[in-house]
Amino acid sequence: MKNKITSALSKELIISAIENIPMKQKLITAVSTIPFIAATTMSGSCATSCPYGMVNDPYPGQCPRYTDITGDGICDLSQATAAAATDTSSTSTDDTTTTTTDSGNGHGANADTTIQDQSADPNAATIPDSTVLDSGNLHLDTTNYYVLPVTIMLIGGYLFTHYLFNKGILKRNKHRRIWNLLVTAGYLGTGVTGILLTIMINLGIRTALNPSITYWHAEMAILMVIGTMIHIHLYWKPFKNMFRVLFGIKSNLKKKTKVKGHPSDVL
């Protein structure tokens, strides 16, 4: 039996078997393993760490995901790895653990309750730490922003109105107006939510609305990005002209020629 297995697993047999597999199949197999490799390597790294890779981010935090359940004035997500390292070292030597809970705005200075847990059993100290980490705001990391569906929907919409415009059903002005309104809505939405988030982060304001503002900031940003690309396509001639005016050989000093009409028509 042992001989059979060793002969089956012999180096020459494996090499010849691999060589017999067609190149296309090899490629497909290699590509199909990528998601599994990615999943196994990522799941551990993003479970309790800062999605932006920040380390010891102090109050009020650099992003709307700031979470401070431990109440030390540093975002729990940014210190997850450091906390885990110190915890493992402390459990082996120290019998006393301290758990601090902050039910207010997450500011370390406003810590509401401090529970001192004195235990004779050194193994008991390892239990509460896991519960503290689990109760964090980690569900935010799984937010789906629907980047691809929204993008496909917008591009599809543009292709449709462009088709109507080409067929003469939709007037040029109306076609432009629709997409100018949409891009304005995108800029307005992204700008307002972005400024709101910045002010909230700067002032340390944490409300239940924060995750939804972040969500709409991302959604409006998709509309803004796709809308800007469409805007450039709609005003392609003025866009090309911009480079000619700015980087062209033509002198840009004011001569006695007046530009008449609307800037978008000339530029």
Site of interaction with another protein (CB under 8 A)? 38, 42-43, 45-46, 49-54, 57-58, 60-63, 141, 145, 147, 177, 180-181, 184, 187, 190-191, 194-195, 198-199, 201-202, 218, 221, 224-225, 228, 238-239, 241-242, 245-246, 252-254, 259, 262-264, 266-267
In angstroms, give the least distance from the CB of 14 to another protein: 33
Q: Which is nearer to another protein, 60 or 71 (CB)?
A: 60
Say how far apart CA 67 and CA 137 lie, in whole Å: 7
In angstroms, give the least distance from the CB of 163 to another protein: 22
Q: Pull the structure tokens for residue 206.
A: 């944490």
Q: Which is nearer to another protein, 83 or 221 (CB)?
A: 221
In angstroms, give the least distance from the CB of 166 to another protein: 22
Say how far apart CA 236 and CA 230 lie, in whole Å: 10
Q: Which is nearer to another protein, 1 or 253 (CB)?
A: 253
Name the DSSP letter for residue 57.
-
Task: Report the DSSP beta bridge partners of residue 74.
Answer: 58
Q: Which is nearer to another protein, 90 or 241 (CB)?
A: 241
In angstroms, give the least distance from the CB of 108 to another protein: 15
* Pair 129, 97: CB distance under 8 Å: yes
Task: Report the DSSP beta bridge partners of residue 172.
Answer: none
Q: Which is nearer to another protein, 8 or 259 (CB)?
A: 259
In angstroms, give the least distance from the CB of 27 to another protein: 22
Phi, psi at 112, each rounded to 5°: -85, -50
- DSSP state letters, 116-152: EEE-S-GGGGHHHHHHHHHTSSGGGGG----HHHHHH
Q: Pull the structure tokens for residue 89.
A: 């070292």
44: exposed, middle or buried (Cβ count in 10 Å: 0-12, 13-18, 19+): exposed
In angstroms, give the least distance from the CB of 114 to another protein: 26
In angstroms, give the least distance from the CB of 58 to another protein: 7
Task: Report the DSSP beta bridge partners of residue 115.
Answer: 99
Q: Which is nearer to another protein, 125 or 206 (CB)?
A: 206
Q: Which is nearer to another protein, 69 or 201 (CB)?
A: 201
The total of other beta-carbon atoms located within 10 Å of residue 162's CB is: 16
Say how far apart CA 91 and CA 195 lie, in whole Å: 44
Cis status, amide bond into 35, omega within 30 of 0? no
